[in-house]
Amino acid sequence: MQKGMRIMDEMDSQKSNRILYLYSELLDDKMIKKSEAARRFHVTEKSIQRDLNEIRNFLDCRNMEESSRDVLIYDYQKKGYRLEQDGKTGLSNAETLAVSKILLESRAFTKKEMMDILDRLIENCVPKENRRVINDLLSNERFHYAELQHHKVFLDKLMPLGQAIRECRVIHIKYSRLKGGAAVERRLEPVAILFSEYYFYLAGFIEGIDRKSFENADDPFPTIYRIDRIEELHILDERFRIPYADRFEEGEFRKRIQFMYGGKLRRVRFRYSGESPEAVLDRLPTAKILDEAEGGYLIEAEVFGKGIDMWVRSQGERISDYTVLAGGGKIK
């Protein structure tokens, strides 16, 4: 009887050692092949498969309790098992909740699109055991979600536009103007996709058009188009070239076009008398505080177009002495 128990203990110890070895190898990003492991430990491949199943069960239990998403998978090309560490690229529960809140606040998509995106985001990023908590925290906002008035689906345009930008390909669009105006057709050299306050925008340089009728005929910067108002999109075989020295820097452009109004680059200065300048500095990434006194903060910033004029008026008495240092005078 005692001899049988010793044998059982030895077998359990051998199995534990095998599992620890296999798991250690997996953590080191090594491939486990059942035939090789079986020869190493002088056991059958079925025994190794049972060991791998125990590792998989352990990972499943740990994934439910933590934000890590390590998964044991079989690589059909290399014919072995490896650990795919989704936790390095996946989102934690808190990150998934935060991204979901941002998406809902953006109101960028139709209700059906938004709900589909949220469902897939939660399904792919949140362990099954925690999904109900995340869904409960989003349920009220999901129920009251109000899509934008244009009710248009445009996601199918984003990737073709992205590819055209990446490959420097000319595009032809039919674009619906605001206020019910007649649609116009444009050939564009697309350079960026931007998002701001509910809408996605395309920035592009216009080809083959007389710009004399434009407000800023000599404007060297791209024109802004709302993507949901692009009625037709054609990616052409023609390519355009922008020298590296003249390349369009989307990040720098984005800092200066907070209001998505085209126009000249302007430098503005004003005095802000609110409690804290933080809201202004967040709204205008190029803003700098030049002086701080009892009358408020003297702030200067670079912006494109006249969109900032409306924002300044919306601030009421908190902004005074607003001056356009380049491109115009004071606003009354």
The span from the CA of 293 to the CA of 148, in Å, is 42
In this prediction, residue 247 has a pLDDT band, given cuts at 50, 70 and 90, of low
Q: Is the pLDDT of residue 332 over 70?
A: no
Q: Decide if 307 contacts 259 (C-beta within 8 A).
A: yes
**Beta-carbon contacts of residue 247 (< 8 Å; ≥ 6 apart):** none
Q: What predicted TM-score, i.e. pTM, was given to this entire model?
A: 0.64
Mean pLDDT of 36-45: 90
Q: Is the pLDDT of residue 12 over 80?
A: no
Q: What is the mean pLDDT of the chain?
A: 83
4, two tokens: 């049988």
Q: Decide if 193 contacts 166 (C-beta within 8 A).
A: no
b/e for 112-127, b at 16 or more Cβ within 10 A?
eebeebbeebbeebbb
How large a percentage of the chain has pLDDT more than 90?
Answer: 42
Q: Decide if 323 contacts 330 (C-beta within 8 A).
A: yes
* pLDDT confidence of residue 158: 94
Distances (CA, A) of 78 to 40, 81, 83, 165: 19, 9, 13, 36
* pLDDT confidence of residue 236: 95
pLDDT tens column, 158-215: 999 999 999 999 999 999 987 667 889 999 999 989 898 889 999 998 887 655 555 5
**Beta-carbon contacts of residue 176 (< 8 Å; ≥ 6 apart):** 183, 229, 230, 231
Cα distance from N-terminal residue to C-terminal residue, the chain? 100
**Beta-carbon contacts of residue 121 (< 8 Å; ≥ 6 apart):** 96, 99, 100, 103
Query: In the chain, where are the structural domains located?
Result: 2-88, 93-143, 155-248, 265-324
Of 204-208, 226-230, 235-239, 267-271, the range with the lowest mean pLDDT is 204-208
- 9 versus 331: the higher-pLDDT residue is 9
What is the 3-state secondary structure of 120-182?
A: HHHHHHCCHHHHHHHHHHHHHHHHCCCCCCCCCCCHHHHHHHHHHHHCCEEEEEEECCHHHCC
How large a percentage of the chain has pLDDT more than 70?
Answer: 81
The span from the CA of 144 to the CA of 136, in Å, is 14
Domain 265-324 has CATH 1.20.1070: no
* pLDDT confidence of residue 331: 41
The span from the CA of 47 to the CA of 18, in Å, is 10
CATH topology of domain 2-88: Arc Repressor Mutant, subunit A (1.10.10)
Distances (CA, A) of 276 to 97, 321, 332: 29, 18, 24
* pLDDT confidence of residue 118: 96
Phi, psi dihedral angles at 129 (to 5 degrees): -65, -25
Closest CA to 199 of 249, 247, 142, 257: 257
Can you spell out the DSSP letters for 14-59? HHHHHHHHHHHHHHTT--B-HHHHHHHHT--HHHHHHHHHHHHHHH
The span from the CA of 59 to the CA of 78, in Å, is 22
Let me know if 270 is exposed, middle or buried by CB neighbors in 10 A (0-12, 13-18, 19+). buried
The span from the CA of 114 to the CA of 111, in Å, is 5
* pLDDT confidence of residue 58: 86
Phi, psi dihedral angles at 7 (to 5 degrees): -60, -45
pLDDT tens column, 273-323: 988 889 899 888 899 999 988 878 999 998 887 788 888 888 998 999 999
Mean pLDDT of 264-270: 87
Query: Which is it for strands 169-175 and 230-239: parallel, antiparallel or unpaired?
Result: antiparallel
Mean pLDDT of 32-44: 91
134 torsion bin: left (phi>0), alpha (psi -120 to 50), beta (else): alpha
Q: Which CATH class is domain 155-248?
A: mainly beta
